[in-house]
A and B are shown apart, each in its own frame.
Chain A
Amino acid sequence: MANNLVGFFDWFGSLGIFFWKVLRAAVSPPYEWRELIRQLDEVGSQSLPLVALAGAAVGAVLSMEVRSSMVRFGATAMLPSAVIYSVIQEMGPTITGLVVSGRVGAGIGAELASMKVTEQIDAIEASAINPYRLLAATRILACILMLPLLTVAADACGVLMGWVAQTLTQPISLHQFIDTGFRGSTLKDFLPPTFKTCVFGLIIGLIACFQGMRTRGGAEGVGRAATSSVVIASLFVILADVVLVKFILVVFQ
Chain B
Amino acid sequence: MATVSTIPTSTQDPEEHFNAAVIAVEELRKSFDGRVVLNGVSLTVRRGETLAVLGRSGTGKSVLLRLIIGLEIPDSGSICVQGSNIAGLSIDRMSEIRKKMGFLFQHAALYDSLTVGENVAFPLEHHRPDLSRSERDDRVRKLLAEVGLEDASGKMPSDISGGMQKRAGLARALALEPEILLLDEPTAGLDPISSGEIDELVLKLQRERQMASIVVTHDLHSAKTIANRLAILNEGNVVIEGRFEDLERSDIEFVKQFLKQS
Spell out A's residues near B (CB within 8 Å): 30, 114-115, 118-120, 122-130
Contact = CB atoms under 8 A, between A and B. Distances in A.
A58 B111 CA distance: 40
B105 A123 contact: yes
B109 interface: yes
A130 B109 CA distance: 16
Most buried by A among B94, B126, B127, B176: B126
Given A119-B105, A123-B103, A123-B105, A128 B111 contact: no
A34 to B, nearest CB: 8
A124 B110 CA distance: 10
7 contacts: A122-B71, A125-B98, A126-B101, A126-B103, A126-B105, A127-B127, A130-B91
B133 to A, nearest CB: 13
Given A127-B123, A130-B91, A120 B98 contact: no
Contacts of A127: 98, 122-123, 126-127, 172, 176
Contacts of A124: 111
A125 B105 CA distance: 12
Contacts of B112: 114, 118, 120
B95 A126 contact: no
A127 B95 CA distance: 8
Nearest to B99: A128
Contact of B109 (A30, A119, A128, A129): A119
Given A125-B98, A126-B71, A128-B99, 5 more contacts: A118-B109, A123-B103, A123-B172, A128-B176, A130-B95
B81 to A, nearest CB: 13
B141 interface: no
Contacts of B110: 120, 123
A188 B69 CA distance: 53
A122 B96 CA distance: 16
Nearest to B114: A120
Interface in B48-99: 66, 69-71, 91, 94-96, 98-99
Most buried by B among A118, A119, A126: A126
Nearest to B65: A126
A120 B109 contact: yes
A123 to B, nearest CB: 4
B103 A128 contact: no
A129 B105 contact: no
B142 interface: no
A126 B95 CA distance: 8
Interface residues of B, number: 25
A129 B111 contact: no
Interface in B92-146: 94-96, 98-99, 101, 103, 105-107, 109-112, 122-123, 126-127
Contacts of A126: 69, 71, 98, 101, 103, 105
Rank and list the top 4 A-B pairs by shortest CB-CB distance, nearest first: A128-B98, A119-B109, A123-B109, A128-B95
A87 to B, nearest CB: 37
B4 to A, nearest CB: 28
A243 to B, nearest CB: 34
B95 A120 contact: no
Contacts of A125: 70-71, 98
Interface string B164-188: 0000000010001000000000000
Contacts of B106: 119
Contacts of B94: 128
A119 B99 contact: no
Contacts of A123: 103, 105, 109-111, 172
Contacts of A122: 66, 71, 105, 109
B113 to A, nearest CB: 8
Contact of A120 (B66, B70, B111): B111
Nearest to A24: B91
Contacts of A114: 112
A43 B101 CA distance: 35
B190 to A, nearest CB: 18
Nearest to A25: B91
A57 B9 CA distance: 77
A118 B103 contact: no
Contacts of B105: 119, 122-123, 126
A119 B112 CA distance: 11
Nearest to B125: A34
Interface string B140-155: 0000000000000000
